[in-house]
Amino acid sequence: MTTTTSNRYALAIDLGGTKVEAALVDPNGAIFPPSRFRAPTGRASSSDQLAESVRTVIRKSTAALPDDAELLGAGIGSAGPISLSRGEVSPLNLPAWRDFGLRAVVEEELPGLSVSLRGDGNCIALAEHWIGAAQGVKFFMGMVVSTGVGGGLILDDRLIDGPTGNGGHFGHVEVGGEDTVCGCGGTGCVEAVASGPKTVEWAQAHGWTGTTGEELAAHYADGNEIAVQAVRRSARAVGHAIASATALVDLELVAIGGGFSHVSADYIALVAEAITDRAAFPFITKVRVVASALSHDGPLIGAAALVHHPERLSEAARA
């Protein structure tokens, strides 16, 4: 069997609150379409059902490996929190799994192969840095504004996964001027202020009669005053939290994805405005904010980066 560089694949696995997805990804970050499979997860699933969904997509994806290709290893991007050292996951939206040994399940399916696990926010950052909006940028945050707010940090070209693997939990940075309570127990977390559902809730509490993020987007476009205020409030919180993050780690670039970041055509611009409104230091206002270049494929591509680019992981985690 001969393999060329381009047919050495990573098996990428993306575990989220509604589905688990797997695919083979080549060394250029391209997903091999015939190998892409998904299976349901969801709040109501038992632990066995979740594990079976994971096994199913692994088997289907690996069965699609071409005859002349090599499988290098597997990378998992999982909804968090996670435990890096134990290979365990506790996805907030999958109550059946608390401290569940996901890495071991994948290892059993792939004897002899190395399996690497990170949070999905970290994978998104790795993906943007690899083939997306942050190529060649040394100090970078990738983030999403969606049902939650999350992210991942790459500093000096290295993923800041951290000792527990939970680095990049941008959603739980505190912002001022807000008293919204967060699911984590804190008050004023950027996730509790700025996420899609929380922004809809805020608009409703202020008299808006819609029910979905899509409606909010339409009403924002129509100039509905409460919708405009609600979207600006979300962008303001995200911008303030980015300013705090930039004060701490001197970010050069932030790429924002996630469904709710498309709520308005000017959402990214509103975030950028909120940063300059908040801060005067040039080393803070210099941070550029752009839209994610990878949309919903980020977590899967980033999971593959765990295999194709282990040099991007922290030395602690590689050792």
Comparing CB distances to a copy of itself, the nearer of 11 and 153 is: 153
Residues 52-81 that bind a copy of itself (CB under 8 A): 81
> Are the beta carbons of 32 and 25 closer than 8 angstroms?
yes
Comparing CB distances to a copy of itself, the nearer of 82 and 105 is: 82
161 binds a copy of itself (CB under 8 A): yes
> d(Cα 72, Cα 32) in Å, to the nearest integer?
15
Residue 62: other Cβ atoms inside 10 A = 18
312 binds a copy of itself (CB under 8 A): no
47-55, 148-156, 224-232, 293-301 -> range binding a copy of itself (CB under 8 A) = 148-156
314 binds a copy of itself (CB under 8 A): yes
Closest approach, Cβ 165 to a copy of itself, in A, equals 8
Closest approach, Cβ 214 to a copy of itself, in A, equals 30
Of the candidate residues 104, 283, 291, 295, the single one contacting a copy of itself (CB under 8 A): 283
Size of the site for a copy of itself (CB under 8 A): 55
Closest approach, Cβ 217 to a copy of itself, in A, equals 27
3-11, 180-188, 195-203, 263-271 -> range binding a copy of itself (CB under 8 A) = 180-188
25-33, 39-47, 69-77, 175-183 -> range binding a copy of itself (CB under 8 A) = 175-183
Residues 6+ apart with CB under 8 A from 35: 9, 22, 23, 24, 60, 61, 62, 64, 65
272 binds a copy of itself (CB under 8 A): no
- Matching residue, tokens 């001197």: 250
Please choose, from the candidates 288, 190, 183, 285, the residue with its C-alpha nearest in 3D space to the C-alpha of residue 235.
Answer: 190
CA distances from 193 to 73, 179, 212 (A): 39, 9, 16
- Matching residue, tokens 């998104």: 124
> Are the beta carbons of 290 and 63 closer than 8 angstroms?
no
204 binds a copy of itself (CB under 8 A): no
CA distances from 319 to 15, 23, 47, 118, 297 (A): 25, 27, 31, 15, 29
139 binds a copy of itself (CB under 8 A): yes
DSSP H or E stretch at residue 228: helix 225-249
Residues 6+ apart with CB under 8 A from 248: none
Comparing CB distances to a copy of itself, the nearer of 72 and 154 is: 154
4-12, 35-43, 108-116, 149-157 -> range binding a copy of itself (CB under 8 A) = 149-157
Question: Would you mind telling me the total number of residues written for the chain in this entry?
Answer: 319
> d(Cα 152, Cα 189) in Å, to the nearest integer?
16
Comparing CB distances to a copy of itself, the nearer of 254 and 263 is: 254
> d(Cα 269, Cα 149) in Å, to the nearest integer?
18
Residue 319: other Cβ atoms inside 10 A = 5
45 binds a copy of itself (CB under 8 A): no
Comparing CB distances to a copy of itself, the nearer of 39 and 141 is: 141
Tokens at residue 40, please? 């349901």
Of the candidate residues 12, 200, 284, 289, the single one contacting a copy of itself (CB under 8 A): 284
Tokens at residue 34, please? 């015939």
DSSP type of residue 122:
H
Residue 28 sits at φ, ψ, to 5 deg, of -95, 5
Comparing CB distances to a copy of itself, the nearer of 55 and 288 is: 288
Comparing CB distances to a copy of itself, the nearer of 39 and 126 is: 126
Residues that bind a copy of itself (CB under 8 A): 81, 138-139, 153, 155-158, 160-179, 184-188, 240-241, 243-245, 247-252, 278-284, 286, 314-316
